[in-house]
Amino acid sequence: MAKLSVTLQPSAIAAFFALFTLVLFPHLGNAAQTLDPLASTNWLDLQEEYLGEGPVEFNSSITLLLPPEIENSHEVPLTVVIPRTLGDVQEVVILAENNPIQQVLRLHLHRPVHSLSLTMRLETSTPVRAAVLLADGKWLVGSQLAHVLSPGGCSAPGGNSGGEVAQVGEIAFKQFENGGIYKNDRLKFRITHPMDTGLVTKANGESVPAYYIDRISIHDGSGLLLEFDTQAAMSADPVVTIDVPELQQNIRVMASDSKGLEFDSGELPTAQ
Amino acid sequence: MIYCKSLIFFFVATVLFGLSHFSGVEAETTRYKLEPDMIASGVFVFWGKQESFSRENGANIVNTGFIVGRDAILAIDTGPTRLYAEEMIEAIKAVSPLPIRHAVVTHHHGDHAFGIQTFKKNNINILMHPKAKNLLAEEGAVLFGYLENLIGLDWTTGTEVDLPTSLLEKERMIDLGQRPVLIIPYEGGHTPGDLVIYDITSKTLFAGDLVFNGRAATIPHADISTWLDHLDTLEKQDWESLIPGHGPLLSKNQALDSTRTYLAFLRETAGAAISRGTTLAEIMTTVIPSPFDQLATVNSEFLRAMTTLFRQLEDEQFKSSPSTK
């Protein structure tokens, strides 16, 4: 018996304790908590690497919507709901723990956003996190397990850009009035880009070098709205949807990629 | 003590693994055990399970069959693997000594077309729509990879994607000896090139995957509007029994509503979501309404269908909205 406890990892003890705590105090499961609800063994490393020093709290009001099972790991749809009750949000970081590229994107907010949707690459089944930074320096983390049926979203060929018909850097765009979760403005755009991870080897043995959009910014008539730091863990031709309650006219999407190319949608007329 | 237990476990596991992999046990399990069901005089069906592809069923989820004339036999579809096709041919031979002269492959999807190679080796004429042949040539290898992943090498061993020996673009009559059988093309609905087989004698219609009964339809190569039109046409044809590609037999005048209403539901759900700006993740996590939640395999097929339709509709939407370089 003594031998058994010696072989247990601290994380396993934490997982057991988390379960134990939830059984004794089930109400904690719905509210903020300091223990990882998914009891991941990697989480503390991720927290240190991507969220830094600030205090972290797991919060189930940050909802992550993922398909219950994922067949196409090159193009996994994710929607993150960021309830307005959280108040002033500074940053949102999307992390896929078991990915070779863990940080999918980091969003810097200059105005409120209530939901963020994107298509991403998942190498294998993994906890997916949406970490939200509040003005007081505290991180709130929402979590969901992604069940991937066909692994290889980052390293296997496939999920290619529709680049023959559209040119790299072409930005297509659609606005939905009252389409958002709080019946507010929803903005959806797609940037044509291969988003190569650098981890794919073609059938002929040639490896495909990393090439991806690393920065996206959105502007409107009243200035800078949002900035994204993006990685190749976003799908080819990524589609991003955001709910922005204070969206103004003359929206403009700009992006740059890892070769230093700059893309600009120009000022787009407001959609119908 | 623990050490001891794990040793025993290791030993038992090794023995079991060895047994299942290197002895007769495995050979026993990788058989489809196909049994022909006579649904009319000279008309037989091998009924597939109402399931998704799995390691347990080896993709035996599809209905295949054959029609026996005075001189010859015509097979409908070739099944998902070499093993399936071999068992199918064996089972047909047990029913009748007549030669299997033709095999009509209703479309290019693997569960219907990956047995082609085996039928070819038996000198059987294999008919397909030219568009289905092209798709099989283009996508066969990729589709086979998916299948192999889902059902495992024990079932797929020795299977090679192969192409038909003859093509059929227009309606054609094949006589099996006092038994005329009509082969009718239905283009651009379920896939670009589907074929339907109609046995005039028994008024049996083998509809391929244009009709699903009690199972969620698959739409990766579909045009739903055309497909719905095809269903109307099929419904008006003079058949006593209809054999769907998947699911149980439909009797005379039984409407094709199971397929029709589900297709309409998919189109409306995806269309409404795209025009409102609802995201794919949002639609995938909604509850499937009744009665569609009762369909076999609907949970996984709904996700596939929404992914396919979103890609198509989103593309159209972006093309029609402001876009610059």
Query: Mind giving me the DSSP string for B95-142?
Result: H--S-EEEEE--SS-HHHHTTHHHHHHTT-EEEE-HHHHHHHHHHHHH
For residue B25, being part of any structural domain is answered with no
Task: Tell me the one-letter amino acid at B39.
Answer: I
Check CB contact of A262 with chain B, cutoff 8 Å: no
Q: Tell me the chain B residues in contact with residue A239 when contact means C-beta distances shorter than 8 Å.
A: 314
Check CB contact of A10 with chain B, cutoff 8 Å: no
Q: Which two tokens stand for residue B70?
A: 């005075």
User: Of the candidates B277, B319, B321, which has its C-beta nearest A186's C-beta?
Assistant: B277
B25 SS3 class: helix
C-alpha–C-alpha distance, residues B135 and A247, integer Å: 45
B82 confidence band (pLDDT: 50, 70, 90): very high
From the centroid of its chain, how far is CA B85? 14
C-alpha–C-alpha distance, residues B128 and B164, integer Å: 6
Contact between chains at A150 and B149 (C-beta distance less than 8 A): yes
For residue B181, being part of any structural domain is answered with yes
| 8 Å CB contact between A186 and A79 | no
Our count of domains for chain B comes to: 1
For residue B154, being part of any structural domain is answered with yes
The pLDDT score that the predictor gives to residue A36 is 85
Contact between chains at B277 and A179 (C-beta distance less than 8 A): yes
Tell me the residue range of the domain where B61 lies: 33-253
Q: Which two tokens stand for residue A29?
A: 């499961």
Going along chain A from its start, the domains and CATH numbers come out as 9-39 (no CATH), 53-264 (2.60.40.2470)
C-alpha–C-alpha distance, residues A205 and A194, integer Å: 19
Name which of B86, B80, B82, B122 is nearest B102 in CA terms: B122
The pLDDT score that the predictor gives to residue A272 is 43
Contact between chains at A65 and B299 (C-beta distance less than 8 A): no
C-alpha–C-alpha distance, residues B93 and B102, integer Å: 14
From the CA of B182, how many Å to the nearest CA of chain A? 38
Contact between chains at B281 and A174 (C-beta distance less than 8 A): no
The pLDDT score that the predictor gives to residue A4 is 40
From the CA of A46, how many Å to the nearest CA of chain B? 25
pLDDT means over runs of 10, chain A (272 residues) = 42 52 46 77 92 93 94 94 93 97 97 95 96 96 93 85 72 86 87 94 89 96 94 95 88 95 84 46
Query: Helices H, strands E: what count in chain B?
Result: 11, 14
Question: What is the ipTM, given to two decimal places?
Answer: 0.82
Return the CATH number at B45: 3.60.15.10
Q: Which two tokens stand for residue A201?
A: 């080897």
B42 SS3 class: coil
The pLDDT score that the predictor gives to residue A179 is 77
Strand partners, A95: A103, A129
The pLDDT score that the predictor gives to residue B16 is 42
- CA B88 to each of CA B36, B91, B194: distance values in angstroms, whole numbers, following the listed order: 9, 5, 22
Q: Tell me the chain A residues in contact with residue B323 when contact means C-beta distances shorter than 8 Å.
A: 170-173, 265
| 8 Å CB contact between B125 and B102 | yes
C-alpha–C-alpha distance, residues B178 and B63, integer Å: 25
Q: What is the mean pLDDT of residues B155-165?
A: 96
For residue B260, being part of any structural domain is answered with no
Q: What is the mean pLDDT of residues B100-126?
A: 98
Q: Which two tokens stand for residue B139?
A: 């996508």
Q: What is the mean pLDDT of residues B177-189?
A: 97
Average pLDDT over all residues of chain B: 90
A-interface mutation test, from B53, B279, B297, B302, most A Cβ less than 10 A away: B279
pLDDT digits (tens, 9 = 90+) for B43-56: 999 999 998 899 99
For residue B70, being part of any structural domain is answered with yes
Check CB contact of A72 with chain B, cutoff 8 Å: yes
